[in-house]
Amino acid sequence: MTPELHQRIDDLLQQNKIMVFMKGNKLMPQCGFSNNVVQILNMLGAPYETIDVLADPEIRDGIKEFSNWPTIPQVYVNGEFLGGSDIMIELYQKGELQQMVEVALAS
């Protein structure tokens, strides 16, 4: 990964408390896993931003290297990588995600 791409991703994470790298966007997810993440965040009522990796191949490859995680979507809260769809579902069902989001938004 180029230093410029690393900085670009870092900047996105610093500028947004909750950032989702996904296929499509929050208004039109382009895969079921990305849709799962959007639905969970919408249920929490949390403000979040998305980056469509389909529209940006450099980010699509770079985010996988950045997080050392091979799949999309990828969710970050307060700059920390949480995981993808399955992890988000698990955290939501346990009630842990709501708490993480509240802490992030309060900071």
How many structural domains comprise the chain?
Answer: 1
Q: Residue 37: exposed, middle, or buried by beta-carbon count in 10 A (0-12, 13-18, 19+)?
A: buried
Reported as a pLDDT band with limits 50, 70 and 90, residue 105 is confident
Predicted TM-score (pTM) of this structure? 0.94
Q: Residue 72 sits in a domain of what CATH number? A: 3.40.30.10
Q: Which domain holds residue 94?
A: 3-106
Q: 43-77, pLDDT tens digit by residue?
A: 999 899 999 999 999 999 999 999 999 999 999 99
Distance CA 82, CA 96 (A): 11
Angle ∠(94,37,16) on CA atoms, nearest 5: 100
Distance CA 75, CA 69 (A): 11
Q: 6-22, pLDDT tens digit by residue?
A: 999 999 999 999 999 99
